[in-house]
Amino acid sequence: MAFLEVQKMTKTFGGLRANGNISFSLEKHELVGVIGPNGAGKTTLFNCISGLYPVTSGRVFFDGEDITDLKAHEVARRGLARTFQVYVASGDLTVEENVMVGCFMQTRSRLQAREKARRILGELKLLDLSSFMVRELPVPAQKRVTMATALGTQPKMLLLDEVAAGLNPVEIEEIMGSIRHVHDDMGVTVMLIEHVMELVMKVSDRLVVLDYGEKIADGPPEAIARDDRVVQAYLGERYVKEKGKGSNGVME
């Protein structure tokens, strides 16, 4: 069985089907992107995998265990962490203390949590900001703090939900470097939702494409960029024409 395996997963909200019969798998140490139009069901997919939403039907397996019916904190304890599109940090905690909150998932020792938080902040080049309140930081630094907090839970796999949203090209390069470091150097399997094509096409081993809640494609970035269904549903002819002309790759 694959490291993460989603089998015929469906999620409905009353009469609305947000995800329909989705199946895919990830191997350990892969870095896989999830793309698709707004409303395609990408975040709902992450919410179901991470235990935030109960699935309507289908199964989710992680690291050899059926996690379909587990709550979010139970999924996190098994090593599957996630970030959210909007990061709401506690206004009364510093950057270091926010990361410590994640570390308390695996330890009750404040000393151990602090030591671990400082190691993670060092890994993501945030140590100099450890005493700042998160709300005082620019958006790019806040994005890295949310990654650091998730890493505090000691994940085997990290789900990243639009960590490059709202960033300029220089900031995108910085967050791309952080993602690669987490994956390549820290050995964490990564799955990311992203609309910034420059980022997702460069860092991903493979892409899963959703449209109207269904999976329409799954393959390496080069093949996905040429897939007629993906071009029609999401990328558009403009992206196909511009991707070799230095476009910043941000989908409007």
Question: Domain check: are 9 and 64 in the same one?
Answer: yes
Residues 91 and 167: their CA atoms lie apart, in Å, by 23
| Shared domain check, 166 and 58 | yes
Give 43-68 pLDDT, tens digit per residue: 999 999 999 999 999 999 999 999 99
Q: What CATH number is attached to the domain comprising 8? A: 3.40.50.300
SS3 203: helix
pTM of the predicted model as reported, rounded to 2 decimal places: 0.89
Higher-scoring residue by pLDDT: 198, 193: 193
Owning domain of residue 136: 86-154
Domain final position from 154, 180, 197: 154
Query: Are 136 and 73 within one domain?
Result: no
pLDDT, tens digit (0-9, with 9 covering 90-100), for 105-158: 989 999 999 999 999 999 999 999 999 998 888 888 888 999 999 999 999 999
At 248, is the pLDDT very low, low, confident or very high (cuts 50, 70, 90)? very low
Structural domains of the chain, count: 2
Query: Do 94 and 198 lie in a common domain?
Result: no
Same domain, 222 and 100: no
No. of H helices and E strands in the chain? 10, 10
Can you tell me whether residue 127 is helix, strand or coil?
Answer: helix
Whether residues 194 and 101 share a domain: the answer is no
Q: With left for phi above 0 and alpha for psi between -120 and 50, is residue 55 left, alpha or beta?
A: beta
Q: For residue 92, what pLDDT is reported?
A: 77
Supply φ then ψ for residue 81, to 5 degrees: -110, 165
Answer yes or no: is pLDDT of 246 > 70. no
**Same domain for 111 and 74:** no
The per-residue pLDDT of the chain, averaged, comes to 91
Q: For residue 216, what are the contacts with CB-CB under 8 A and spacing of at least 6?
A: 36, 209, 210, 229, 230, 233
Residues 7 and 128 in one domain: no
- Do 243 and 193 have their domain in common? yes
Residue type, 130: S
Residue 199: which of 232, 142, 248 has the closest Cα? 248
Percentage of residues in the chain with pLDDT exceeding 70? Answer: 91
Q: What mean pLDDT comes out for the span 70-96?
A: 86
Do 213 and 149 fall into the same domain? no
**186, 210: one domain:** yes
Same domain assignment for residues 171 and 251: yes
Residue 1 confidence (pLDDT): 87
